[in-house]
Structure 1
Amino acid sequence: MWRILLEEVDLPTANILKSLLEESGIEVLIKPGSFDPVIFGQGGLVQILVTEEDFEKAQKILREASKNEENTSI
């Protein structure tokens, strides 16, 4: 069963996060969000989904990545 990890993310960011999660062995699905990228080009927002089993692990990876980004931008 798939679960939404992030609701509205721009496509370039979603692809970066997908790569990060896949490096940790997490299967990721990117799905059009409220605005279909096919209609609105690269400006459309997408959802990032992971399996129910990997949901907590994926959240932890994103939290750690966010912390690391905050620490390096100081």
Structure 2
Amino acid sequence: MTTHFVTRHPGAIEWAARQGLHIDRQIAHLDPAAIQPGDVVIGILPVNLAAEVCARGGQFFNLTLDLPPNAR
């Protein structure tokens, strides 16, 4: 099982570290073909890619950060 963290934002990476999340791969873009059954994907993905992660036997967790516009 691999945990993929899909983000380009340094703040999200820092947040994940503060949360103590175990991340195997931090990537800017996801290639759904790389997902194996049991993999976990955390990030913000279009619905079609999130569905493909699940169809390939992975789990997808949407990353939502409640930030004001000036902090994004």
> Which structure has more RCO (C-alpha within 8 Å, separation ≥ 6)?
1
Q: TM-score, normalised to structure 1's length?
A: 0.36
Higher strand proportion (structure 1 or 2) = 1
Q: TM-score, normalised to structure 2's length?
A: 0.36
Higher helix proportion (structure 1 or 2) = 1
